[in-house]
A and B are shown apart, each in its own frame.
Chain A
């Protein structure tokens, strides 16, 4: 974004926030954190008479369409976070939902929770050694609370049972036309072993992993990025959290590179959830393949010109990581 466009955006944002924060005097430290063309995250401090407010803006800018139909949309994300807070899931408080009159696109403003979000630091930082001890258990407890959220009152969400998710990602992979024997091998295994639809589909976060968590000295401080939420099999979230791509080099700690499956399962069970380890494993394989296919999707968006972020080009060469992870899961070789 050009400096001029950024200053117009800052002006609109301040205008919008004045409706919610009386006497807001200005924005400080506005900076883009991450995202592609269809999804932006900005961090800033709002100067108010009662002190500086650390805030985050999540938005789909005007004119941009959501990249895939998988995303629930930023407005749904805000509604889900408000529900999750009531259910006892640690989430940032939603402070304001954008309206068309704000001319900022679709999105919302939430509190910025202090803590670490970078996965590589969460698995390594000496200051977080104590936090890592209990983190897998806390993730289990947060997931159990999330999966218990009553379906009544949730915004409309797509449904994603195991067979439907598999078919969906197979379709996306085929549409890329990529020739990848390892993905073919994994698709075949997943098809042969696909679990039955869960008896009662529940809310699934859809992207609960190291990288979307805020961690402070006390452990899990907040769960972020609700844009992939859907209705489905609760074991999907547990399997996704164990995918090797989110272990940041700490492969021996399957839960996000910081914990053991036993601790995750214990935390989940203690908070009233019921673990099916076979399903969790299926979803870990499915999640590994899914991340590989998502890498393909990002490369395609880059090559066809819809996405100009150079990271999207580089990420194409991350798909081979998921291939080795799939082989490790499906045809393990004995380690010497």
Chain B
């Protein structure tokens, strides 16, 4: 078992350093990139925290939607295939809900502040 700090604390340390120390000390594009990199670290932290549960829920929905089993990647390929061929049309039961939920979960990791997502999720 590893010791303290935890992975999340290590990453938070890097993000805080980049944002509060490195970015203000760097000029122009380097300063901007330091802030972008701090945001990237925060995406990684959220994926570590939220990704496994989101993937499990997505996997579960895909099995139900496609009536078949497989790993997450291959089920997503199959879903793409069925949308492309029209086998799963815009009105197919559960499709729109699945796409919304999956995208909201991705956005909670990638860009939790994105306004369209907040508005679409009912202001939560």
Contact = CB atoms under 8 A, between A and B. Distances in A.
Contacts, number: 97
Interface on chain A toward B: helix, strand, loop, or mixed SS?
helix
Contacts of B111: 317-318, 320-321
B49 interface: no
Nearest to A188: B83
A128 interface: no
A320 B116 contact: no
Contact of A181 (B86, B102, B123): B102
Interface in B70-107: 73, 76-77, 79-80, 83-84, 86, 90, 95-96, 99-100, 102-104, 106-107
A311 B29 CA distance: 10
B43 A310 contact: no
Contact of B84 (A184, A313, A323): A184
Q: Which interface class (under 10, 10 to 19, 20 to 34, 35 or more) fits A?
A: 20 to 34
Interface string B105-120: 0110111001111011
B5 interface: no
A244 B115 CA distance: 10
B37 interface: yes
Q: Which interface class (under 10, 10 to 19, 20 to 34, 35 or more) fits B?
A: 35 or more
A314 B36 contact: yes
A181 B33 CA distance: 31
A26 interface: no
A163 to B, nearest CB: 17
Interface of A: 31-32, 179-182, 184-185, 187-189, 244, 247, 249-251, 310-311, 313-314, 317-318, 320-321, 323-325, 327-328, 330-331, 333, 335-336
Given A181-B79, A321-B117, 6 more contacts: A179-B77, A310-B36, A320-B103, A320-B106, A321-B107, A321-B111
